[in-house]
Amino acid sequence: MAKLALLTIWQFDLHASLPQAACADARADADRALELIRHWLRRIVRRQIVLQYCDSDFLAAEREFRRALELQPGSSDALRSYAWLALSDGRSDQALQLAQRAVSSDPFNAMNFAVLGSVRWAAGHFAEAEVAYRKAVELSPTLPGLQWTARKHIDIDTQGDRGGC
């Protein structure tokens, strides 16, 4: 699709003005190509999760994570999932780097902060983990499983106030 967009433009003399229809077609082709890439990336991330959690094929899952990040380096879904894999494999430095990149890529995704909290907790950085978990709960107080994860690690209630868990 992206090549089609370029060919649509290049079929005209680049020194002349392009017909509006050619630009509209090229824009639509480019948009379709980007949507196909996003769709493909979501499928790759789902496959990685199956390889990791269902098949316990961590090497294959890691290959898929790397492939997804080559395709879209800023994918918070791929970065977050890869961070979980690195953490479960004992690579805490890599897990921290990936989790921080996920948060930077999408600072409004509660799960990015949840993985950051888990990575920091595993490294013994409990105060930093608490900050990350609180941010996750603040962003998505009703996300299934998030309250349980936060409560497991820190003393937190659903409003983010200190409570008696």
The DSSP code sequence of 62-109 is HHHHHHHHHH-TT-HHHHHHHHHHHHHTT-HHHHHHHHHHHHHH-TT-
Top-confidence residue, 79 or 18: 79
Domain residue spans in the chain? Answer: 1-73, 91-165
Is CATH 3.30.70.1290 the right assignment for the domain spanning 91-165? no
Mean pLDDT of the chain: 79
pLDDT at 158: 42
Predicted confidence at residue 155, as pLDDT, reads: 67
Write down the pTM of the prediction.
0.67
Residue 115: CB atoms within 10 A of its CB come to: 28
Average pLDDT over residues 119-148: 89
Question: Looking at residue 115, what is its pLDDT?
Answer: 94
Cβ atoms of residues 68 and 75 within 8 Å: yes
Query: Residue 113's pLDDT band (boundaries 50, 70, 90)?
Result: very high
Reported confidence tier of residue 5, pLDDT bands at 50, 70, 90: very low
The pair of three-digit structure tokens given for residue 28, joined into one six-digit string: 């639509």
* Cα–Cα dist 61/66, whole Å: 9
Q: How far apart are CA 7 and CA 1, in angstroms?
A: 10
Query: Do the Cβ atoms of 80 and 99 come closer than 8 Å?
Result: yes
